[in-house]
Amino acid sequence: MDIPAGLETTSNFYKVCRLRKSLYGLKQSPRAWFERFTKVVKGYGFVQCQSDHTLFVKHFPEGKLAIIIVYVDDIILTGDHEEKIDLLKKLLTKEFEIKDLGNLKYFLGMEIARSKKGIAVSQRKYVLDLLNETRMLGCKPAETPMDTTDKLEESDGSAPVDKGRYQRLVGKLIYLSHTRPDIGFSVSVVSQFMNNPTEKHMTAVIRILRYLKMTPGKGLFFQRTTKKEIEIFSDADWAGSVTDRRSTSGYCSFVLGNLVTWRSKKQSVVARSSAEAEFRAMAQGICEGIWLNRLLEELRVPLKHPMELYCDNQAAISIAKNPVHHDRTKHVEIDRHFIKEKIEEGVFKVSYTPTNCQTADILTKALARVNFEDLTEKLGMINIYNAA
């Protein structure tokens, strides 16, 4: 940085500039903005949630509430007290230069559609823009995002491809998976080869794009149900990675009957048995459930307890309920004690579900078309554009 014009001193080398206002583009700008926003919102009586620091809630005596959720400088206001929400908009206008965009229809690349049946969230425009950018709008569609016979590995002998292009494509697919759990596993797999991508890895990415060509408008659907509990489905694909024989964990959580969070991730250590791999996936699912429960408590949403955890491995369930198998489980001691503690406290109830009803199966392995379509339906995914 140069000394500002007009400042003349003999000791220029010892002068520094002190910022009185954070400038857009500097590293500390988002933090300074969020601190300022938090201070203003708290001044209006909102409470910052501990389970999600970007979420602010205000409860009113008549049982109504107003909610603010912020992502950098994009803000969503919601709640069931319209008068207070309108008042909040006026107050925020006094403090900040904001623009009211009306009812939520488009947010960070996500399209929101409402009807009497429920709310649909998709990224159709994002998908079509991605296909146009990669010149795949006229490609042959694929029925599933990944071939069941494909087992990707680091050194597969095929020629290397443009690393920058591969990373950009996978990065865009990762963002798309925020509303597309159906591509969660395939994107998780291709993202493991960012450093040295080959033609075979790029073919797998192209396959995902071909699947998106088939279903550009597919997304999540949230509807009113009679359910009052949190349900978690956890699954693991034992030693699924050809490269290092690590297992893949997958879980999906349903709140009041609607899919809210999901994850597909390769485990950090090698599991010596399928029960151990399932056990680690169960522990991750329970952690997610505890976080969701804490969040809903802050929103004062009434829930039925205990929460339900569904697993398709009988051995993992019996180990969770019966601490006698010491010699078989001492290498997963921490997870075993954690799960056992939560069951004894009545926080969770572990139940068996058959493999063909295991919703999380779609997050741990590539599936054939019939199974894949059945599970996407169970996840609550619809294509509102087809329905129209």
Helix 124-133 vs helix 199-214: crossing angle, to nearest 10: 140
Residue indicated by tokens 């009052």: 228
Residue indicated by tokens 């591509």: 183
Ranges 103-117, 143-157, 209-223: which has the least confidence: 143-157
Residue 231: pLDDT band (50, 70, 90) is very high
Q: How far apart are CA 187 and CA 82, in angstroms?
A: 40
According to the model, what pLDDT value does residue 271 have? 86
Q: How far apart are CA 64 and CA 78, in angstroms?
A: 11
Q: How far apart are CA 282 and CA 339, in angstroms?
A: 8
Residue 122 has pLDDT above 90, yes or no: yes
Q: How far is CA 69 from CA 74, 308, 313, 342, 375, in A?
A: 9, 28, 38, 30, 31
**102: Cα separation from own chain's centroid:** 26
**Which tens digits make up the pLDDT trace of 66-95?**
999 999 889 999 988 888 888 889 989 998
**Which tens digits make up the pLDDT trace of 327-365?**
555 557 777 778 888 888 889 999 999 988 899 999 999
Average pLDDT, the chain: 87
Average pLDDT on 253-259 reads 93
According to the model, what pLDDT value does residue 11 have? 62
* H or E segment to which residue 57 belongs: strand 55-59
Burial class (CB in 10 A: 0-12, 13-18, 19+), 32: middle
What's the CA angle centered on 179, arms 176 and 185, to 5 degrees? 70
Residue 123: pLDDT band (50, 70, 90) is very high
Residue 102 has pLDDT above 60, yes or no: yes
| 292, 335 Cβ separation under 8 angstroms | no
According to the model, what pLDDT value does residue 249 have? 93
According to the model, what pLDDT value does residue 33 have? 86
According to the model, what pLDDT value does residue 155 have? 79
**Which tens digits make up the pLDDT trace of 24-68?**
677 778 888 889 999 999 998 999 999 999 999 999 888 889 999
Residue 325 has pLDDT above 60, yes or no: no
Ranges 9-13, 203-207, 238-242, 344-348: which has the least confidence: 9-13
Residue 238 has pLDDT above 50, yes or no: yes
According to the model, what pLDDT value does residue 310 have? 94
Can you read off the two tokens belonging to residue 277? 């791999």
- Please state the pTM of the whole predicted model: 0.85
According to the model, what pLDDT value does residue 388 have? 44
Average pLDDT on 148-161 reads 84
Average pLDDT on 104-130 reads 91
According to the model, what pLDDT value does residue 326 have? 53
Q: How far is CA 344 from CA 184, 337, 347, in A?
A: 32, 10, 8
Report the percent of the chain where pLDDT is more than 90: 50
| 29, 37 Cβ separation under 8 angstroms | no
According to the model, what pLDDT value does residue 49 have? 93
User: Could you tell me the sign of the dihedral formed by the alpha carbons of 225, 226, 232, 236, in that order?
Assistant: negative
Average pLDDT on 260-279 reads 88
According to the model, what pLDDT value does residue 263 have? 93
Q: How far is CA 206 from CA 171, 201, 212, 263, 266, in A?
A: 14, 9, 10, 22, 22
